[in-house]
């Protein structure tokens, strides 16, 4: 990333994707949008942990860092957070083959292929911008179970940072060259999993999903998937085709890659993403194990 571009973005007030601490402005967002205060957080964690420990069927981690993700995702409503955790439990238990033997080498190969990328700057609302390019996924070399497992690991890897729990994620999903062979990997077996993950099973605040370069094969897959989604989730999914100007209505042009009509040139963050996954992968697998 060119130094001049980085300086210009910082001068405009755009914040980096790498934020280990929580800036004051995002603490304010947490108070206003989630109702989060020190007292609310402490009380909710105690209540949430007790509800989990009282449930003999629910075996999962109970450390604060893990539980806070579910509470923030449901604005500190303990009942709803417990429902989300149960949904997450049931989703993982329904598809044990996804995590029984994750191939770390294949996961690293996938993250190094530019299938996933975290853009360097956040939008004006503090949202992290994640891109996913389907044309870079070779389904003959990397099976769909590795793709789904890697996607889940990346989302949880990014969600361990409080700022992402509070401000959420926007996804640019590039369906260019999405093939019938790729679609058959999902349809019909894993389409319900995708729907449940989007609907109410992950402690991720998906603020919006922007599909670009979609063609007829993807449109067919969407015609089935949308039947499984709630109106609320469908309203957060936008289709732009090749109309990059329309994408800029939702995400500032300054932080969008040039291939989508933005100002960001030749940015590929796979080294950072791979290192983050390396740090988090063992914990991710540890967090998954209690569900089986």
What band does 1 get if pLDDT is binned at 50, 70 and 90? low
State the average pLDDT for the chain.
91
Helix (H, G, I), strand (E, B) or coil at 130: strand
- Taking CA 132 as the corner, what is the angle to CA 1 and CA 148, rounded to the nearest 5 degrees? 135
Return the CA Rg of the chain.
19
Residues 6+ apart with CB under 8 A from 199: 228, 229, 230, 233
Sheet holding 128-133, edge to edge: 116-118, 128-133, 169-174, 206-212, 237-241
Q: Give mean pLDDT, residues 244-268.
A: 91
Helix (H, G, I), strand (E, B) or coil at 214: coil
- List pLDDT tens digits, range 198-253: 988 999 999 999 999 999 999 999 999 999 999 999 999 999 999 989 999 999 99
What band does 127 get if pLDDT is binned at 50, 70 and 90? very high
Written in H, E and C, the secondary structure of 189-229 is CCHHHHHHHHHHCCCCCEEEEEEECCCHHHHHHHHHHHHHC
Q: What pLDDT was estimated at residue 287?
A: 67
- The sign one gets for the Cα dihedral 204, 207, 211, 217 is positive
Q: How many CB atoms lie within 10 A of CB 102?
A: 18
- List pLDDT tens digits, range 64-121: 999 999 999 999 999 999 999 999 988 888 888 887 777 889 998 999 899 999 999 9
**115 within 8 A of 151, measured Cβ to Cβ:** no
In the predicted model, is pLDDT for residue 158 greater than 80? yes
Separation of alpha carbons 97 and 152, rounded Å: 14
- Taking CA 106 as the corner, what is the angle to CA 202 and CA 186, rounded to the nearest 5 degrees? 50
Q: What pLDDT was estimated at residue 292?
A: 46
Q: What pLDDT was estimated at residue 166?
A: 97
Helix (H, G, I), strand (E, B) or coil at 144: helix
């Amino acid at each position: 990333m060119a130094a001049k571009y980085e300086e210009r973005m910082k001068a405009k007030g755009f914040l980096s994707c790498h934020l280990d601490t929580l800036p004051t402005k995002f603490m304010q967002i947490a108070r206003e949008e989630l109702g989060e205060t020190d007292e609310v957080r402490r009380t909710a964690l105690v209540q949430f942990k007790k509800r989990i420990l009282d449930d003999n069927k629910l075996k999962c981690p109970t450390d604060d860092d893990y539980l806070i993700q579910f509470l923030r995702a449901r604005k500190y409503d303990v009942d709803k957070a417990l429902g989300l955790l149960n949904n997450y439990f049931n989703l993982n238990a329904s598809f044990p083959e996804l995590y029984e033997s994750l191939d770390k080498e294949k996961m690293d190969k996938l993250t190094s292929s530019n299938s996933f990328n975290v853009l360097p700057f956040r939008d004006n609302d503090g949202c992290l911008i994640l891109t996913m390019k389907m044309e870079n996924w070779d389904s003959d070399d990397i099976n769909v179970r590795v793709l789904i497992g890697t996607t889940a690991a990346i989302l949880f890897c990014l969600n361990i940072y409080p700022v992402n729990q509070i401000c959420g994620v926007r996804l640019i999903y590039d369906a260019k060259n999405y093939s019938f062979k790729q679609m058959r990997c999902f349809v019909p077996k894993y389409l319900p999993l995708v729907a449940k993950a989007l609907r109410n099973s992950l402690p991720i605040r998906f603020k919006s999903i922007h599909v670009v370069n979609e063609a007829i094969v993807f449109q067919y897959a969407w015609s089935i998937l949308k039947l499984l989604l709630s109106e609320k989730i469908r309203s957060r999914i936008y289709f732009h085709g090749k109309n990059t100007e329309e994408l800029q209505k939702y995400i500032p042009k300054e932080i969008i890659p040039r291939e989508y009509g933005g100002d960001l040139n030749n940015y590929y963050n796979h080294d950072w993403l791979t290192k983050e996954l390396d740090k988090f992968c063992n914990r991710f697998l540890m967090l998954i194990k209690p569900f089986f």
